[in-house]
Every structure is written in C-alpha cells, then in structure tokens.
Amino acid sequence: MRLRSRFVALACGWCLALSLIAHRGVAAPAPSFRLAGQLVDAVSRAPIVRARVWITSNVKDLPFSESVQTDGEGRFLFSNLPPGKYSLFAERRGYGAQGFQQHENFSTAIAVGGAADSEHLRFELFPQATITGQVIDDATGPVRDAEVLLFRKSRPAGRTQIDVDSRQHTDDQGRYRFAGLRPGTYYVAVNTRPWYAQFTAPMMHFQLRGPNGENLDFNIREGASVAGVPGNPQTSSESAEGLSPLESVHTASSFKEATEMLAGAAVAVNAGELVKEEPSPLEVVYPMTYFQDTTDAAGAVAMVLRPGDSGTADFNLRAVPAVHMRIRTRSANEASGGPEGVAQIEYAQRGLGNYEAPVPAEVAYAAPGVLEVRGLPPAPLVMRIGGGASAGATVDAGQTSEFDATASGSQIAIRGTLQLGDGPARPDQVSVGLRDRATGEFLSAGVAQDGTFLFQHPAGRAATYDVSLLNSELTVQSVTVSGAKGWGQTVEVSGTQDVQLTVKAAKATANVRGVVLGRDEKPLAGAMILLVPADANHNTALFRQEQSDSDGTFSIPGVMAGTYTLVAIENGWDLDWADAQVLAPYLSGGKGLDVSAERSYEFTVKAVAKTGEPGAVSTP
C-alpha cells in the first residue's frame, strides 16, 4: 500500500506541473490504466454485491496489493494502475476466496495496459459447498472429539489422486461441518478411539530356583510392583543368597529394568515368558470408517458436490476387539532403537490415496528385543521400523499376531549421492523424493553434508520410482543406477538387492514465453500449457505446466536444457496428462523445441481442442 500511495501522490504532482515544465523538455509521466469488471454467481449469473475483490502485482520488483468492494450491481474498479499483469481474486461469505478462472493452483492473470481489454471482465465466483454430519456409537451415543477427515480427488500434477483436503473434530454432540468447499469429488472418514477403551499392560512371568531348590515364580506388570507366587511364601519379601538381582526388583523404576534384572539372574530356570491373559472387554478400537460405515477404503462412497451443494455424511461407529501383536525388533547395531536394541516403530492404518492414519497403540517392553503392542485395529497396517525414509512393511493385523522385523533381508537399501557438477551437492535443506508409480506413495530423504541419502525399501517387492528433488532450486538432470534398471529419471527396483543411485542436478535456467491462439486465431485466455520433455514417461520431473493470461500470453521460467514439445490445450484441465497415452493425441498439435541453458525463447502456439483434434501446427 505504501508503494501504491507514493505512486498516486507522484502522479498527481506530475499532472499539476506538466503544463509548467513541458517547455523544458521533461518527459510526460507514465500512463495509468484501469482494471474493472463485474462479479457474478457462476451458477445463477446474478451479481454478487458487497464482495471483497483484490489484486496483486505480478512484477517482482513492484510489490503491490489493493482491494475494493463490489457495488450494488457487483461491479468493481481499480484505477491509476501502471501497465503490467495482476492476479485477481474475490471472496464473499458463502463463496470462499477464488482466483480469476482458477484451476487447482493456476489462474488467469489480467494484462493491464496492452491490447487486451482489462475493463470489461466477467468474474464468475462459484458458491461454496458444504458437508455436515454426526458421528455416533450405537452403544454409547454421540462420539465427541472424533477426528473427521475430508479427502478430495484432484489432479495437481497431471494425475488423478486422492488427498486429505481438510480435517475437523466433532463437538459434544458428535457433529462436524466442512464449509467453503470447491465443486468436486469428496470422501469422508472418521479416525478415533472409543473414549472408554482401556488397555492393560502385559504381564511377564519368571520362574527361578531358590538356594534350597525350591521354585520361585514372579509375575510383573508394567507400572506395578513384583508379585511373588511362591513354592516358599517367604521368598517374595526376603533376599536369598545367590539371588541378589531380586533385591532391587522390588524397587525397580521401570518394568523394563525389572524384567532385565530377572532375566539376568544366574539361577533363572525360565525367564521372560509372557503370561497369557484373557483380553479385557474394554480393549476395543474403532477401525478407520468411511462414509456409509465401511472400514474398507476400496468401498468408500464418493460425494460429488456441485457449486452450492450441501451434503450429509453420518457415521455409526462399531467398536471391535483390539489386536495384540508381538514384534521382534532389530538389535542395537542394526536399528536406531538405542542401547536396548529395541527399534523405533511407527504404526499407521493406510487410508484413501496414500494417507496413513497414525495408530496410538500401547507399546510395552516384553523381553530383550521384543515388543508387546496392544490397541491395533484388525486391518492392514503400515509399520516403519527405525524411522527414516522407509516404504514400510504392510502387516495385516487382522490375520496375524506376530511380526518379525529381524527377518533376514526384510528391507533393502536405496543409497545415493546427489551431485552438482562434478562433486557432491551441498544439501542446503534439499531432499530427494521417490514416487511409487503403482501406489502413488511418496517418500523423501534428506541429503547429508557429503551429498549422500538413504531410503529403505521392502525386500521382495518390485517397484518403479520417479526421482525428484524437493525444497530446492535444483532440478534432476540425470540418474545413474546400479543394482536396478533405470530410464531417464525413473528407477525400477526388483526388491532383491541394494540399489545405488547417482543423481546429477543442475539449476534450470531457461525461460519459455509465448502466446496461445484459439480457433479464431485470437489470443486465448485460460488455456492449459504443457512443456513436455522427450521420453516424457521417464522424465516426469521435467514437465512444466502453466495457464495463459487474459491476453493469451504465458511465461514458463526454470526450464532444464533439453528437447521438448510445447502444447496448449483448450479446456484441458481435467485431463490426466501425466499418462502418456492420454497426452499422445495432443502432441501432434504442439511445437517442438530444443532448449539450451540460460536462454529465453518465444513462441506462438495454437490451442488444441480437448477432444484430441489438433489445430494447425504452431509457428514460431
């Protein structure tokens, strides 16, 4: 605003003095322009009054923002603007903030000061949709403070995928409400625990032999003192010669410490057996539940919302017995679990898309290298052992009660080095990403000071990964693979041996600009522009996407040197363009180009109809 006020003040001063100093040869002030239009409901076409409309400058060196309110006919006006491009937004209660001709993360910028008309805009605002509902347990009534997850189907990178869009917690009546929703396809799920659930820590049984040959039985539960079950009633409270470790068991600060002491007793006959107990009726869980009360993600019912729709999704949760699972962990020199040799394990229930809902399981130390886990839902779970960038192991807790993390070859390593030029790249918070093409799962690993990184992949499972870089101005230039197959930036892992990657990165410094023409040979606004790399199926990280502005122009910065096809598609925003078969019919209407580093290019390209019928081949 300060820059804006300064501009207006200077402009007024120049106008006042212009006639006085023109004869001295002083240049006239720069012309100013207007951005104006009408805000209407995208469904009813009725004007939207008293809405907030604002603009921001797209010029890096001129940060600028201004807002106005629409009048009684939904009209808005910004005046005295310098020439340039401006992003245009609007919001009002019942609509939510939206960009002009917005498609996912793209919108049409308004060109001011050129040949394009910036004073007769028609800004269509979509009324928001809502989803409301109530979560109950048919045995106990409304479920309060339950986490409700809202999933949405979208195409952020040319692939249809389902991601968590928002989350809420139910109130004291078990009710929730999602507002401000865009038109689209949604799924709703509930992830919570019964408020009355109770999980008893496991009890360990130790059998020892006293100095006179008598049997001594000890049961220890975490958080409780030692209980003696004697052949000799006095041995539970008196120290016996040769059993000095038992003296400190009674005052042990933790269950783990106590069990280690007993297990280490020289005269132990049978140490460290888990006492089998009948589970408590309160050891129950709610599996993740989707709309229409299914616990199977594949059976989740979609809610297709149009502008202004109000949907209802009620839930009736059913508590089921929790699963007990015994997990044998890796030793201290094999895992990151510390000196005790107990690995850190993360438990999650996989939901729609690649969402993983953390499971708040009760974990107890059962024996050296063994964990007793309670409170697991009887469903397929993802377990990540030792932390780090791991694809995790899938374990069906509904089918098994044991999991051995020490099994030989349970995971293979995908190691790599990130190089910039001829040497290792400085990390600077950059991460390497692997996207599993089959599941869509995305893994990331930080880069160490020496440029190395590490992923863990389940042994025996083949997978195809796309390699990318995150949090960096760098782009993957090439990937060299050992121990697997590789094409471009794609790696095919067999799951039978460790893999070594060398990822060469560079700054993408080329720029591609141009204008899109419609079928009438006039500049076309709102077209989807794709810069498609050669061997596109194996170089997805090199794709670039843009949207043409109000004068039909576009600018694609940060392009890696290489061979590309530039294509513009009219109304192509719902295409899965990352699929080579979907994209293929449109490429013949594009423009082939060879891009060199640190150069700028300008092209004119004719938009291809969404039906796949190409227009005339573009000309530079």
The 3-state secondary structure of 102-160, one letter per residue: CECCECCCEEECCCCCCCCEEEEECCCEEEEEEEEECCCEECCCCEEEEEEEECCCCCC
Which of these ranges, 68-77, 240-249, 407-416, has the smallest mean pLDDT? Answer: 240-249
Which of these ranges, 108-117, 383-392, 415-424, has the smallest mean pLDDT? Answer: 383-392
pLDDT of 524 > 50? The answer is yes
Residue pair 605/552 in contact by the 8 Å Cβ criterion: no
Tokens linked to 491 = 């790696």
Better-predicted residue by pLDDT, 185 or 343: 185
pLDDT tens sequence across 486-499:
999 999 998 889 99
pLDDT at residue 385, rounded to an integer: 65
Q: Which range has highest mean pLDDT (12-26, 95-109, 456-470)?
A: 95-109
pLDDT tens sequence across 331-379:
434 444 443 444 567 788 888 888 888 888 777 776 677 788 888 999 8
Q: What percent of the chain has pLDDT over 70?
A: 74
Which of these ranges, 51-65, 107-121, 477-491, has the smallest mean pLDDT? Answer: 51-65
Per the prediction, the chain carries an average pLDDT of 80
Dmax (CA) for the chain in angstroms is 122
pLDDT of 250 > 60? The answer is no
Predicted TM-score of the model (pTM): 0.77
pLDDT at residue 202, rounded to an integer: 61
pLDDT of 330 > 50? The answer is yes
**Mean pLDDT across 468-482:** 89
Which of these ranges, 48-57, 212-221, 326-335, has the smallest mean pLDDT? Answer: 326-335
* Residue at token pair 């009633």: 233
454 bridge partner residues: 415
**Mean pLDDT across 232-246:** 35
pLDDT at residue 274, rounded to an integer: 53
Better-predicted residue by pLDDT, 389 or 113: 113
Q: How far, rounded to the nearest angstrom, does the alpha carbon of residue 220 sit from its chain's CA centroid?
A: 43
Non-local (6+) Cβ contacts of 281 within 8 A are none
pLDDT at residue 611, rounded to an integer: 64
pLDDT at residue 185, rounded to an integer: 96
Q: What percent of the chain has pLDDT over 90?
A: 50
CA dist 255 → 263, 264, 365 (Å): 12, 14, 8
pLDDT at residue 340, rounded to an integer: 45
Alpha carbon distance 281, 323 (integer Å):
12
pLDDT at residue 25, rounded to an integer: 46
What is the chain's alpha carbon radius of gyration, rounded to the nearest angstrom? 32
Non-local (6+) Cβ contacts of 404 within 8 A are 327, 328, 410
pLDDT tens sequence across 442-465:
888 999 988 999 998 888 889 999
pLDDT of 203 > 50? The answer is yes
pLDDT at residue 72, rounded to an integer: 96
Better-predicted residue by pLDDT, 492 or 269: 492
**Mean pLDDT across 91-108:** 94
Task: Work out the number of other CB atoms within 10 angstroms of the CB of residue 221.
Answer: 18
**Mean pLDDT across 57-68:** 83
560 band by pLDDT with thresholds 50, 70 and 90: very high
pLDDT at residue 471, rounded to an integer: 74
Alpha carbon distance 100, 106 (integer Å):
9
